[in-house]
Amino acid sequence: MSVIDEVKQRTDIVEVIGQYTTLTKAGRTFRALCPFHSEKHASFFVYPEQQSWHCFGACNIGGDVFSFVMKKQDIDFAETLRLLAQRAGVTIPSKFEKDTGKDEKERLYQINEAASQYFHNLLLNSPAGEKATKTIPAEEKLQ
């Protein structure tokens, strides 16, 4: 199971959305005034079984707990994932966290250097590379 799926599974969408608007039980769903636009009649529905929400009013949008928090707090997906993971008690592996400054630049430099060497080798030592270098004038060929 991915970290995203684990966070989603451990997060109660009704509880999260209930922090932003008053939800009223309506059968198997919950309804409320939409937290994204002004209205007099509830057009915002939360579906706990599907862990989703939808506004049938002026917004006419919907989604999951991630899209709700992103829209309501005006933050990106990475920040939303960190926020909801912390709330759900899920540890995010380092591959999802931002590397900082010098380490990240060095790692990217090494990746680019390796890619450069790989493609240079292909250009000089493969049949496709040989074909490509034949179309380049002799004075411009790479050595």
Q: Are 121 and 62 in a shared domain?
A: no
Based on the fold, state whether residues 108 and 43 are members of the same structural domain.
no
Q: Is the pLDDT of residue 49 over 70?
A: yes
What mean pLDDT, rounded, does the chain reach? Answer: 85
Integer Cα distance of 81 and 7 in angstroms:
8
pLDDT at residue 61 in the model:
93
Structural domain boundaries enclosing 117: 101-140
37 plus 91 within the same structural domain: yes
Q: Write b or e for each residue in 29-66: b if 16 or more Cβ atoms lie within 10 A of its Cβ, otherwise e.
A: bbbbbbbbeeeeebbbbbebeebbbbbebebeebebbb
| Together in a domain, 61 and 20 | yes
Instruction: Check if the beta carbon of residue 69 is closer than 8 Å to that of residue 84.
Output: yes
Question: Looking at the structure, do residues 68 and 86 belong to the same domain, yes or no?
Answer: yes
Same domain? For 12 and 76 the reply is yes
pTM above 0.75, yes or no: no
Q: Is the pLDDT of residue 51 over 60?
A: yes
The model's confidence at residue 29, banded by pLDDT at 50, 70 and 90, is very high
Domain count of the chain?
2
My answer on whether 8 and 71 are in the same domain is yes
Q: Which two tokens stand for residue 18?
A: 């209930």
**How much is the pLDDT for 9?**
92
Domain match, 92 and 105 both: no
Give the three-class secondary structure for 11.
coil
Q: pLDDT tens across 6-22, in order?
A: 999 999 999 999 999 99
Whether residue 78 sits in one domain with residue 116: no
pLDDT at 142 over 70: no
75 with 21, same domain: the answer is yes
Residue 44: give its domain's CATH number. 3.90.580.10
Mean pLDDT confidence for 121-141: 68
Same domain? For 73 and 117 the reply is no
User: Using one digit for the tens of pLDDT, what is the confidence trace for 86-125?
Assistant: 999 998 887 655 545 667 788 887 888 877 876 777 777 7
Q: Please indicate, yes or no, whether residues 55 and 116 belong to a single structural domain of this protein.
A: no
